[in-house]
Amino acid sequence: MRERSSRVVKNSPAVGSASAAGGHTVAASSRGRSAARRSRGWISGIIHTAAGDIPMVKTRLSFLDRWGAVKVRCGAGRAGYRVAPGLYAAGYPGRDAPVFVSANYKLSFDKLRAGLNGLDAWILVLDTKGINVWCAAGKGAFGTDELVARLEATQLKKVVRHKKIILPQLGAIGVSAHAVREACGFRVAYGPVRAEDIKKYFADGYKKSPAMRTINFGLKDRMILAPLELVHALPLALIILGIMAVLHLLRFHTLDVGLALEYLPLAGALVAGTLLFPALLPYLPFRSFALKGTLLGLVWAVGSSFFPAFTLFTLIAHVLLLTPLTAFFALNFTGSSTFTSLAGVKVEVKTVIPLFAGSIIAGTAIMILSYFGALGGI
Amino acid sequence: MRLQYLKGVTDLTLDRDLCNGCRMCINVCPHNVFGIEKKRAVLIDKDACMACGACKLNCPVNAINVSSGVGCAYAVYFSALTRKPHFSVR
């Protein structure tokens, strides 16, 4: 395995594994390590290769990695959550070690390195502008051109002596395996959808079970996406609060707890559409997200019209306003879901958005009229 | 519980006469739309297709066609407002 040029750094903690590195010199000097740790906690050392120095990454996620994941799931700092594109080493990979390709969204990268724990492998990070594999592939950033260019830029052919690269299966949406082979000779294999299945895929001799190539959308998968739905819906919710505050001020000449009580049904619609909807997705009838959301919105509109006391006016206003609002938030969850198609979403949007808009205009009109007593005693 | 989206909206087609039986479509499809019959691919669950386009892009003999894109309401609003197919692929 070891090449003539190999040189093992004496004080390296990796000496015992140097032969596993198969020709690459492992240097993890204490100075380099601490410097790396200060800048990026997830780098543990450097491997010298014919294509230059390659950072070694930890395959156990730290508290900071996990905290960063929680933050981006809630919408904080998503735009800058990136790693530099290029080659990385997990474990002590050698010239025959497998190569796994990922996006430069740190959440994607972290999932991959955690999935490689206990394996010796190279990681090739593409420049996907900080977007995850699936979304980047859908928009072409995780694509054939970027992959071919990155293989060339990193000189992977000098680092490994095989021609196989393993992509996450969802990368196939942007990458054409036969086109990559024609362009640069590397053979693309599509691995499992989820990085956590990599070890099993590896142990089974690079064979994928049907479960490994199927996308799931279980309760956990759905709820991890829900906080961001809520965050995305907040601006609209705040605009409505602002309008209601102005109307309240015009009528009562003060902003008091009455406004908060008036806003509660709307806040409920926000929670129903963004948090409850993902939770109940498989249990709501109909295939259409808009219809599922309309049903959920109707239940909330009718239910909330009993508080503090039921009136016909409240019922009508709630049904006209809260139903389409809840359904609108629900429809937006198509972007987070794993099984909706563009053609289907187009049909839904074209059909229901005019209806939602009409309902909200009618509801707003009767609310404003009632505010100023124009509707008499309803 | 299996989640299913609208029926009959995808325009996915497979030309079995062109198929060389390489199984790439089965390999890349995340919703198990394809199967194999008599050594050639066949559509076994067309309505599960989310039109991601992975099969079309990776079919070496161009036997598959589908109008691909991202099934996301925001993308649809955006392209309707700007008249740009912002999120669509190729």
Nearest to A343 among B51, B72, B90 (CB): B51
ipTM above 0.95, yes or no: no
Q: What is the pLDDT of residues A121-165, one digit of tens each?
A: 999 999 999 999 999 999 889 999 999 999 999 999 999 999 999
Nearest Cα to B55, choosing from A111, A166, A213, A338?
A213
Q: What CA–CA distance (Å, rounded) separates A248 from A243?
A: 9
Residue linked to tokens 């190569």:
A99
Torsion of CA A122, A57, A171, B20, to 10 degrees: 20
pLDDT computed for residue A108 by the predictor: 95
CB A201 within 8 A of CB A189: no
pLDDT computed for residue A13 by the predictor: 37
pLDDT computed for residue A279 by the predictor: 97
Q: Could you please report the per-residue DSSP string of A122-180?
A: EEEE---TT--HHHHHHTTSSSHHHHHHHHHHHTHHHH-SS-EEEE-GGGGGT--HHHH
A52 near B CB under 8 A: no
A284 near B CB under 8 A: no
More confident residue, B90 or A226: A226
Alpha-carbon distance A117 to nearest alpha carbon in chain B (angstroms): 25
User: Exposed, middle or buried: residue B11 (CB in 10 Å: 0-12, 13-18, 19+)?
Assistant: middle
Nearest CA in chain B to A210: B32
Cβ neighbours around A40 below 10 Å, total: 15
CB B59 within 8 A of CB A330: no
How does strand A164-167 pair with strand A187-190?
Answer: parallel
- Interface touch A169/B53, C-beta < 8 Å: no
User: Does residue A308 have a cis peptide bond before it, meaning omega lies within 30 degrees of 0?
Assistant: yes
How does strand A121-125 pair with strand A86-90?
Answer: antiparallel
Nearest to B3 among A339, A343, A346 (CB): A339
Backbone angles phi, psi at A320, to 5 degrees: -70, -35
pLDDT band at A291 (very low <50, low <70, confident <90, very high): very high
Q: Using alpha carbons, list the distances in angstroms from residue A175 to A1, A168, A172.
A: 32, 10, 5
Alpha-carbon distance B51 to nearest alpha carbon in chain A (angstroms): 6
Q: What CA–CA distance (Å, rounded) separates A375 from A371?
A: 9
pLDDT band at A278 (very low <50, low <70, confident <90, very high): very high
pLDDT computed for residue A23 by the predictor: 56
Whether the per-residue pLDDT at A21 is higher than 80: the answer is no
Task: Report the mean per-residue pLDDT for chain A.
Answer: 87
Buried b (16+ CB within 10 A) or exposed e, A106-141: bbbbbbbbbbbeebbbbbbbbbbbbbbbbbbbbbbb
pLDDT computed for residue B85 by the predictor: 57
A313 near B CB under 8 A: no
Would residue A325 be called left, alpha or beta, if left means φ above 0 and alpha means ψ between -120 and 50 degrees?
alpha
pLDDT computed for residue A80 by the predictor: 86
Q: What CA–CA distance (Å, rounded) separates A277 from A226?
A: 9
Whether the per-residue pLDDT at A110 is higher than 90: the answer is yes
Q: Could you please report the per-residue DSSP string of A284-323?
A: SSSS-HHHHHHHHHHHHHHHHTTSS---HHHHHHHHHHHH
Helix (H) or strand (E) holding A42: none
Task: Report the mean per-residue pLDDT for chain B.
Answer: 89
- Interface touch A343/B67, C-beta < 8 Å: yes
More confident residue, B81 or A361: A361
Report the DSSP beta bridge partners of residue B42.
B35
Q: What is the pLDDT of residues B7-54, one digit of tens each?
A: 989 999 999 999 999 999 999 999 999 999 999 999 999 999 999 999
CB B66 within 8 A of CB B10: yes
Nearest CA in chain A to B30: A214
- Interface touch A338/B74, C-beta < 8 Å: no
The mean pLDDT of A9-23, rounded to a whole number, is: 40
